[in-house]
Amino acid sequence: MLSDCVVSIRGAASLIRRTFEDRRGLLHAFEAFDNLPFIPQRVFLIEAERGMDPRGGHANSCAEVIIVLRGGVTVELDNGSETESVRLVNEAEPLWISAGVVIRLTEFAAGSLLLVCASERYAQTRHFMTPQAHLIADWPAMS
């Protein structure tokens, strides 16, 4: 489920974060093929501090969703014909990134915590130093 897209580059989109609130607090829910576009095959956390070296700098053969749980990060995107930088903070909508888009994570806020869901297991994933347009070809229309 796409949100009003704050990302304009082909191969990346903001997703809707489903949040439920009651007297016990907040519950954020992600369900495959609803507000999460795939069944996660790998889930990992990135803990970062201000001034940390950039992470990523490559494209993957799988799709990823980045969810900022705490802090903030700048995500630099390159699909081969367009580039864009998006600042995500802990209340930002999750960012869905297509296979083939080069991702570089920079400008981490102190104490940042990111949750990343990937559509493939690490052993099945290939990394590319340049954008892979043929992997972005099936990206859904952003109308």
The 3 state secondary structure assigned to 74-108 is EEEEECCCCEEEEEEECCCCCEEECCCCEEEEECC
Q: Does domain 12-136 have CATH number 2.60.120.10?
A: yes
The reported pLDDT for the residue numbered 142 is 40
- Is residue 4's pLDDT more than 90? no
The reported pLDDT for the residue numbered 49 is 80
Locate 39 and state its tokens: 């069944």
- Is residue 141's pLDDT more than 60? no
The phi, psi pair for 57, rounded to 5°, reads: 85, 20
| Stretch 104-126: mean pLDDT | 95
Regarding predicted confidence, which is higher, 44 or 139?
A: 44
20-78 pLDDT tens trace: 888 988 888 888 888 888 999 999 999 988 778 999 999 999 999 999 999 999 999 99
Model's pTM, two decimal places? 0.87
d(Cα 52, Cα 41) in Å, to the nearest integer?
Answer: 27
| Stretch 128-142: mean pLDDT | 81
Q: Domain extents for the chain?
A: 12-136
